[in-house]
Amino acid sequence: MNFTITSSDPLIFRDGRPFGEQGHVHGGALRWPWPSTISGLIRTKIGEQRAKDYFTGPDRLKNIEMIRKVRNCCLPLWRNALGQDWQPLFPAPVDAFCFQEKNQNSNELNIIPFSYQAADETGGTDFNVSNWMIPIREVNSKPAKSKPDLWFKDVFLYWLKHGKLEKRLWQAENLGLSWPQLELRIHTAISAHTGTADHGRLFSSQGIRLESGGQAERPGYFAIGIQVNGIESNDHLKGSCHLGGERRVAQIEPIRTFLPPCPDWLNNKKYLRLILASPGKFGGWAPDWMLPDEKNEFKTHPGSGIKVRLRSAHVERWQAVSGWEFEKHGPKAFSKLVPAGSVYILELKESSNSQTLAEELWGHSLNDDPDGFGLTFIGNISL
C-alpha cells in the first residue's frame, strides 16, 4: 500500500546524536527524515491501533517482534503549486559530475558522466583489489556549489538508461530541486515554578517546511511517499499522526503507486549500476555480499544466487544516525550511513542474468534492511 505524509507545520528531524558535542550545537538538524524515522512512525501508529498497551503490556516483546514485520520504503514526492499529481524525486547520482565553466550563468549546470580506467593504468592506488576501475573526469573543474539535490523522475530514468543525459547543459530548475530549507525558530524556556517565560534562557529549533520555491526553483509542495508492506487487514494508517521532534502534526493519505516499475532494457548486460535512493546502512561502505577481497572474485547475491563482483564505486562521506530503541527503552547505537545517491558498479559473471538481478534489486533495499535503508535503482553502464 502507498501513502503520502504531509504537514503544514515545520517538521523537526535530527540525526539522533546527543546535544552539546563539539560542532553539534543545533542537535544534528536534518533537511529530510531518515527511513528509520518513518518506519518508527508507521509501526508506532499501527501498534497503538492494535492495543493501547501494545508496547508496554506483558506481551510487549512479542508485539515488538511482530511489528517489525511491517516494512516500508520511502521517497520524496513533489507537485507544483498548481496541484498536479505527486511525482517521485530521486537523489542526484554521485556519478553525475556537475560543474560550471568560467563566466557561465549561475543557473546553468554542465552534467557529464565519468569514464573508467584500470587502477594500474593511472599510477596505482592503496585500495589493493584486483580488477578495480577508477572513475576519471574528462574536465579538471571544481564541482558546482549550487546544484539540485534531487532529480525529477524523467531526468533520473534517462540517466539510468543511457548513462548520460540527453544534453550537457541544463537549467537547474529543469534538472530538479533542493531539499527543503531549514527554518530557524528561537524559543524562551518556561519556568516550571511560575509557568511564565524564564528570561535569559533561550533555545532554538530548526525544522523544514514541505515547500519548494527558493531561488531558481519551481514553487510547489513536498510530501514523504511511503510504500508499506506487512500490515494486516485491520491496520489503518490514514489520518493524523505526530512526526519528528516536538510531535508536530502530519497527515497520512493513501496514494497510487509512485515507484516506477523495473524497465525491460536491463537484459543481457555485462555491467549494472546500482544507485541508492535512500542512505545505506551496511555497517561499512558496501553490503557484505558485495565487498571485494584482494583477488576480487565473483560473489553470490543472497537473494537470487547470481554471481557478481564489484568493479567500482562512487561513495561520498558517511552520515551519522542514531535513534530510540523501543525494546530497550534507550538510544540506539550510533551508525554510519552511506549517503543517498551513492553508486556501485557490478560485473555479472553471466550477462544473461542481468534482467533477473535488476528485478530482484529494483525498488528494494540493497541489504534487505527492515527500516527501508538502501533503496536501490538500477542503470546501464559500459566499461
The listed range with the strongest mean pLDDT (182-191, 236-245, 326-335, 345-354) is 345-354
pLDDT in tens, 29-87: 888 999 999 999 999 999 999 999 999 899 999 999 999 999 999 999 999 887 788 99
Q: What's the chain's average pLDDT? A: 88
Q: What is the average pLDDT across 207-219?
A: 77
pLDDT in tens, 151-189: 999 999 999 999 999 999 898 889 999 998 888 777 788
- Of residues 97 and 172, more confidence is placed in 97
Residue 30 in grid coordinates: 536534518
Q: Annotate 244-281 with DSSP letters as a single string.
A: TBTTEEEEEEE----SPPPPSTTTT-SEEEEEESS-B-
- Candidates 70, 29, 27; CA nearest to 236 is 70
Fold that domain 88-178+260-380 belongs to in CATH:
Immunoglobulin-like (2.60.40)
Domain positions in the chain: 2-81+179-213+219-254, 88-178+260-380
Q: How many CA atoms lie within 13 A of 33 on its CB side?
A: 30
H-assigned helices in 163-271: 172-175
277-292 burial string, b = 16+ CB within 10 Å, else e? bbbbbbeeebbeebeb
Give me the percent of the chain exceeding a pLDDT of 90. 58
pLDDT for the residue numbered 89: 97
Q: What is the average pLDDT across 184-196?
A: 82
- Candidates 347, 279, 358; CA nearest to 317 is 279
Place of cell 533503496: 375
pLDDT in tens, 307-344: 999 999 999 999 988 887 877 778 888 899 999 999 99
What is the Cα–Cα distance from 189 to 151, expressed in whole angstroms? 41
pLDDT confidence of 214, banded at 50, 70, 90?
A: low
What is the Cα–Cα distance from 300 to 298, expressed in whole angstroms? 7
